[in-house]
């Protein structure tokens, strides 16, 4: 098992996509931790880094289109939730372009 090595985001810009780097600017309290890219599976990530599922989440990026306008939304879904669970439906109801 490996411990996450949290560091100021400003010192590891390659870990962040350009829009994220731009959005956080020079905020001093933002931290990142390098991870093994082969651990994309949430359960594998949590096991390797000793992070409980209750403290983990997945980010789903959704693109909505309405009246010719595109809107992106990032929805955080708790790692312990399943597609049929309440948290999935809550996130799903907030997608752009859906009533």
Residue 56 token pair: 């983990």
Provide φ and ψ at 76, rounded to 5°. Answer: -90, 125
Any idea which of 8-17, 41-50, 52-61 has the lowest mean pLDDT? Answer: 52-61
pLDDT at 32: 92
pLDDT digits (tens, 9 = 90+) for 57-89: 888 778 889 999 988 887 788 887 766 555 644
Of 37 and 75, which is predicted with more confidence? Answer: 37
CA distance 43 to 63: 26
- Beta-carbon contacts of 16 under 8 Å, excluding residues fewer than 6 positions away, are 9, 24, 32
CA distance 26 to 17: 15
pLDDT at 97: 47
Of 19 and 33, which is predicted with more confidence? Answer: 33
């Amino acid at each position: 098992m490996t411990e996450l090595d949290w560091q100021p985001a400003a010192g590891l810009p390659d870990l962040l996509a350009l829009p994220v780097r731009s959005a956080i600017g020079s905020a001093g309290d933002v931290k990142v931790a390098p991870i093994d890219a082969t651990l994309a599976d949430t359960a594998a990530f949590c096991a390797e880094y000793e992070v409980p599922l209750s403290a983990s989440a997945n980010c789903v990026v959704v693109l909505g289109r309405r009246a010719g306008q595109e809107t992106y939304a990032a929805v955080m879904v708790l790692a312990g939730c399943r597609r049929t669970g309440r948290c999935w439906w809550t996130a799903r109801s907030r997608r752009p372009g859906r009533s």
